[in-house]
Structure 1
Amino acid sequence: MTTLNEMTQIPPENLDPQLLRAWSWHRQGLDGSLASKGAAEILDRVGWARSIGGANIYLTLFSRTGMPRADVDAAAASREIHELPTARGCTYVLPAADYAWGLQLGHASAEASVKVLERLGVKRAEIEALAQDILQVLRDARGTAEEALDPQGLKKVLGDRVRNMGEEGKKKGASTTLPAALGLLQADGRIRRVPVNGRLDQQRYSYVAWELDGSGEDDEAVRARMLERFLGWTGGATLGQVRWFTAFTVAQSKKALAAAGAVQVPTAAGEVLWMLPHDVNELAGFEAPAGEDIQLLSGSDSLVLLRRNSADLFDEAGAKAVEGMSGSALAADLSDHPILDRGRIIGLWQYDPENARVAWWTFEPASAAVLARIALTGEWITGDLGDFRSFSLDSPKSRAKNIARLDALRAG
């Protein structure tokens, strides 16, 4: 482990936006440095992939390795990777080594659902009893054709043990007691949910019994582990970015940063990044690549989502090009997917399934490398995925305006 005395001091003026963008690009393996790795190792190295019923997980792995969908689905089927609720209660696709402590991070969200029901007059004992009944049903179903049961199937078996919460419950987002009980079981690693058709870009799930051992660590140790991993994935982050991803309090964040051995590194823009000492040494000797390196990424790729800092990835010309756009491409969450060169956003894209093509616009005339990457990505989406949804409710109809806008901007 690098000590503070062995850490290279970097003059802040050296850490300009161009270098930091390229540094993040490298740390995310988008420069081809992780091309030979498998799905679990990629997620271990670059961070958990956000899963909201969209195709981000597939493009995350394709952009770094060229991995086809079938290989990703096989990794999920063999439980090398799995979709679980974790940081902030949000679902991500994790590598197997992170399942236990990742679930521990998301436990508070499961408890929040229970509290909603308690405010509606449901005693915790009733929810826990329902959870035990669900678990018994799923254990009894093991090895049968009905091993995986969806919520409707569970309701059919459980009958009136699932309580309908009426109109008041609907207003609170708790129509029945079933989701809260399922959430407790999933947060404890006693059940897991599986996509009904094996694909990770949809949101129809069934549940199976599971026996995942706990992490064996207390919450404080898990928070320190989270920040060590997060800083490794990003190559450095501000305190605000740390807190956005983790939902830790300021006190929890600072304590976990100290436990992880993180140090503060000022940048040319006046920000202070928290970094791991050995990453500071690597960054001190890092040089941005001279040649183009083009990728089309999802708007929820870990490059932009982990720190929610897409605005930092535009240079001055790019920021001016998208200024005033509907949906604001400069907002924390991108309105379209980005086209990037060494970490700098140079254009935007959407997939048009009706015409089996990528609709795109670049701020400057597209180079041969950009055109080649657009063609390759479009061929992969058409042949391997069929469509590219951002999230579960995304559809060709819902993105039609964005596609038309990109076409108009490109026609110019």
Structure 2
Amino acid sequence: MTPSKLRAFWAARQGLLECDTDLSPETVLKRTGWARSVGGVGPYLTLFTRADLTRPTVDRAVARLDIHELPSARGCTYVVPRADFALALRCSQGFGDAAQIQTAKKHLGVTDAELDRLARAVLDALAEGALDPAALKDRLGDRVRNLGPEGKKRGVTTTLPLVLGRLQTAGEIRRQPIGGRLDQQRYAYVRWTDSPLAGSTLAEDEAYVELARRFFRWSGPASLAHFQAFSGLGVKAGKAAVASLGLRPVSEDSPLLALPEHLEDLRAFVPPETPTYRLVASLDGLMLLRRQLELLLEPADVARVETIGGLQDLPSHAILDRGRIVGLWEYDPEREDIAWTSFVRPDAALRAEVERTATMIREHLGDARSFSLDSPESRKPRIAALRAGS
């Protein structure tokens, strides 16, 4: 099994070899996996690269709740298709907000009774309509307790975020993006009157079996460690979650496991002979489902990426060719174009894909932040490094 064949098969599983313009946002996320959202451009690029979907179409799907940004696996936020709302919420429980609540109870004198009272007050306040955090805090008044310097040191300034997180993972409230855009982190909170968890009997162990099934369907061959990193499970729980899936190693002694039907597909798979370029986000599913970038790089390119920013996560967005990372890019809002460098000789097809992506960003997004705190100013050194290397 050659690395290039394996990378191309991963790209095929991720919908990155053919752009299917007949797919809806919900269908793309069902087929290729939840899109990581950190207030950046990732969800939009996920849907653009796989189905040529632009912001107006995606935002309409968000408004209809065909897709929604939710706390999901290991408490991280993802844009999730409607069919997976309950599963995503169930797999978020016990992480982010739960860990913060335990810290607040242990070190800051917060009690369950205090949080329960505040939760009821939040639900009562939201019964009258959507409120952003500032308006909600004003409405609640002294029922929100300031946790002082010690709380600030521990990253929990008041009791309100603790309750908002708990109510979200319970499916009682949801965040509604102000302006309807996914590439920012300004929200109003609303009651979730038809919560996907209402009446759900999905047990924790059942939820993780379903998450594992989706993970290996989305990713193609992956290791147990890759699934653990995505799900937040330990070794024992991770093994239990995949036990019923019938996973098989792709070759003798390989740590990469595949669903039986994928193993047959992989053996019969013939990678495209001509390049298939895609400009994807730094947290695209192709990278995120593995978190092992060297699997997607040629050995000679590893040092180049390490020099620019390291291998734990990509320092910039990625240029792919049949699953291989062949370059890096950033959007330059001053010039309204893309700064990029490639590890292969640029051809006309690569230049055309760069311009296609730049046009979409100019016309529909205006910028391509990696995450909420990314800014044109903070990006300048990366842009300069990319232009120097292109």
* Alpha-carbon distance between aligned partners in 1 of 2:56 and 2:196, rounded to the nearest angstrom: 29
Q: Give the one of 133, 149, 167 matched to 2:121.
A: 133
* Pairwise CA distance, 1:33: 5.8
Q: Which amino acid aligns with 1:348?
A: L
CA distance in 2, matches of 1:354, 1:371: 20
Are 2:177 and 1:195 equivalent residues in the alignment?
Answer: yes
Query: Secondary structure of 1:23's partner?
Result: helix
Task: State the SS of the aligned residue for 2:360.
Answer: helix
Alignment of 1:2-401 (within 5 A): 15-32=1-18, 34-109=20-95, 110-119=97-106, 120-139=108-127, 141=128, 147-211=129-193, 212-214=195-197, 215-266=200-251, 271-320=254-303, 322=304, 324-328=306-310, 331-401=311-381
Aligned counterparts of 1:314 and 1:251: Cα–Cα separation in 2 = 30
How far has the Cα of 1:323 moved from its partner? 5.6
The residue type paired with residue 265 of structure 1 is V
Gaps of 5+ in 2: none
Shift of 1:159: 0.7
1:197 deviates by 1.2
* 1:133–1:323 CA distance, 2 compared to 1 (3 A): closer
Cα distance in 1, alignment partners of residues 344 and 191 from structure 2: 53
- Structure 2 length-normalised TM: 0.96
Distance 1:312 1:204 in 2: 36
Amino acid at match of 1:126: E
Please list every run of at least 4 consecutive aligned residues from structure 1 whose deviation after the TM superposition is greater than 6 angstroms.
Answer: none
Letter in 1 for 2:363: G
* Alignment check: 8 A CA contact 2:209 2:241 kept: yes
Deviation at 1:324, TM superposition (A): 4.7
Separation in 2 of the partners of 1:114 and 1:339? 40
Matched with 1:5 is none
Q: In the alignment, is the contact (CA less than 8 A) between 2:39 and 2:371 conserved in 1?
A: yes
Q: Is the 8 A contact 1:225 1:260 kept in 2?
A: no
Give secondary structure in 1 for the equivalent of 2:257.
Answer: strand
Cα 1:218/1:303, change in 2 over 3 Å: same
Moved more, 380-389 or 275-284: 275-284
- What SS does the corresponding residue of 2:357 show, helix, strand or coil? helix
How far apart are 1:309 and its partner, in Å?
2.1
**How far 1:312 sits from its partner (Å)?**
1.2
C-alpha distance in 2 between matches for 1:324 and 1:66: 31
Partner residue in 2 for 1:11: none
Partners of 1:114 and 1:124 within 8 A in 2: no
Please give the root-mean-square deviation of Cα atoms over the aligned residues, in Å. Answer: 1.3
**Which amino acid letter does the alignment assign opposite residue 373 of structure 1?**
E
Q: Distance in 2 between matches of 1:38 and 1:50?
A: 18
Shift of 1:213: 3.6
Give 1:27 deviation, angstroms.
Answer: 0.4
Please give the alpha-carbon distance, in whole angstroms, between the structure 1 residues aligned to 2:191 and 2:83: 19
Q: 1:323 to 1:296 in 2, by over 3 A?
A: closer
Q: Distance in 2 between matches of 1:124 and 1:230?
A: 34
Compared with structure 1, are the counterparts of its residues 397 and 33 closer, same or farther at alpha carbon in structure 2 (3 Å cutoff)? Answer: closer
Distance 1:283 1:363 in 2: 26
Q: Are 1:103 and 1:189, in contact at CA under 8 Å, matched by a contact in 2?
A: yes
Q: Could you say what secondary structure the match of 2:130 adopts?
A: coil
Superposed CA offset, 1:101-147 (max 9, x none): 210111112222221221211111110111111011111x1xxxxx2
Count of aligned residue pairs for this structure pair: 385
Q: Identity percentage over the alignment?
A: 44
Q: Following the alignment from structure 2 to structure 1, what is the Cα–Cα distance between the partners of residues 271 and 103?
A: 50
Instruction: Single out whichever of 27-36 and 40-49 deviates more from structure 2.
Output: 27-36
User: Relative to structure 2, which stretch is displaced further, 112-121 or 59-68?
Assistant: 112-121
Contact 1:60 1:301 (8 Å CA) reproduced: yes
Structure 2 CA distance for aligned equivalents of residues 324 and 100 of structure 1: 39
* Amino acid across the alignment from 1:222: A
Question: Equivalents in 1 of 2:32, 2:244: separation in Å?
Answer: 21
Corresponding position of 1:8: none
SS at match of 2:250: strand
Retained in 2: the 8 A contact 1:296–1:373?
yes
SS at match of 1:266: coil
